[in-house]
Amino acid sequence: MAYNNASILVVDDEEQNRDILSRRLVKEGYTVTVSDGGKEALDMLRLERYDLVLLDIMMPGIDGYEVLKRIRSEPVLHNTPVIMVTALSDTSSIKRCLALGATDYVGKPFELTFLKSRIRQAMQALSNLRRANAAADTATAAVLVVEDDEVNRDLLVRRLTKAGYTTHAAGSGAEALSLINEHHYDLILLDIMMAQMDGYQVLQKIRLREAYKNIPIIMISALGDASSIARCMELGADDYIMKPYNATILNERVFKLLGNNIPSERRDMDS
């Protein structure tokens, strides 16, 4: 489903930031409204329904934390997706936003392709929520971890298993493709820098398989340059997390991409 015609409210007290972000999003086909502060944003949200809010944290008067808190406290606004877009990248800020109900968290400066992917995920999550019935889905999702470093691989497997997911691991691209032939997975975590067959090649081969065209894939890599992120998105990745990763962020990304296929007794990976 395409979401590039969604209505987005951009909230940022810096005029340059608002202008740059709104121009980029309009160019992508989104309907964009801007606000220069928390009070104005809340007034606008009560007058007009938006499909998504991109919200800065550090603003005078009513900051982003308070705006998010009020959005989540009002029944009419409660389910509106809110992505925090901020220069604050410390763990405490991320955890606070997620605890207050943020849908996602993107640091400044950001790669546009990356932000677009997060917007699509937020819209899909809202769509899933609207379609979901009252019964909880207790099916355990199956996750494949593809990582050639044994320590990293084992750590990811332990976190995912502790969270309640059925987890398999592959130490190479070839092993991953072999496992995909034998099992169905609901999500794949894929490293980039691997010997013989790197993550780009594995991603490309997976996307060529009919059964895996729409399976969520999260790239996890120490590469943080814009070109690496953009290349992964172009090849069909759904998300990109840098090493060393934050367990809270990883938890939320996995939770979101799996949608309704999450364990009913899901536990935080960082607990």
pLDDT in tens, 221-266: 988 888 999 999 999 999 999 888 877 778 888 887 886 444 444 4
Collect all residues with Cβ–Cβ distance below 8 Å to 10 and sequence separation of at least 6: 18, 21, 22, 25, 32, 33, 34, 35, 54
Collect all residues with Cβ–Cβ distance below 8 Å to 61 and sequence separation of at least 6: 37, 38, 39
- In the prediction, which pLDDT does 268 show? 45
Distance of alpha carbon 170 from alpha carbon 202, whole angstroms: 12
- In the prediction, which pLDDT does 218 show? 95
- What is the token pair recorded at 141? 């999702």
Tens digit of each residue's pLDDT, the chain (271 residues): 445 568 899 999 999 989 999 999 999 888 899 999 999 999 999 888 888 999 999 999 999 999 999 999 988 888 899 999 888 878 888 889 999 999 999 888 777 888 888 888 888 777 666 555 322 343 478 999 999 999 999 999 988 888 788 899 999 999 999 999 999 899 999 999 999 999 999 999 999 988 888 889 999 998 888 899 999 999 999 999 988 887 777 888 888 788 644 444 444 444 4
Distance of alpha carbon 86 from alpha carbon 203, whole angstroms: 30
Residue 97: which of 249, 262, 265 has the closest Cα? 249
Q: Residue 5: how many CB atoms within 10 A of its CB?
A: 10
- In the prediction, which pLDDT does 112 show? 81
- In the prediction, which pLDDT does 259 show? 65
- In the prediction, which pLDDT does 137 show? 40
Write down the CATH number for the domain with range 7-131: 3.40.50.2300
- What is the token pair recorded at 90? 């410390």
What sign does the CA torsion over 40, 93, 160, 156 have? positive
Arch. (CATH architecture) of 142-258: 3-Layer(aba) Sandwich (3.40)
The CATH 3.40.50.2300 domain(s) of the chain lie at: 7-131, 142-258
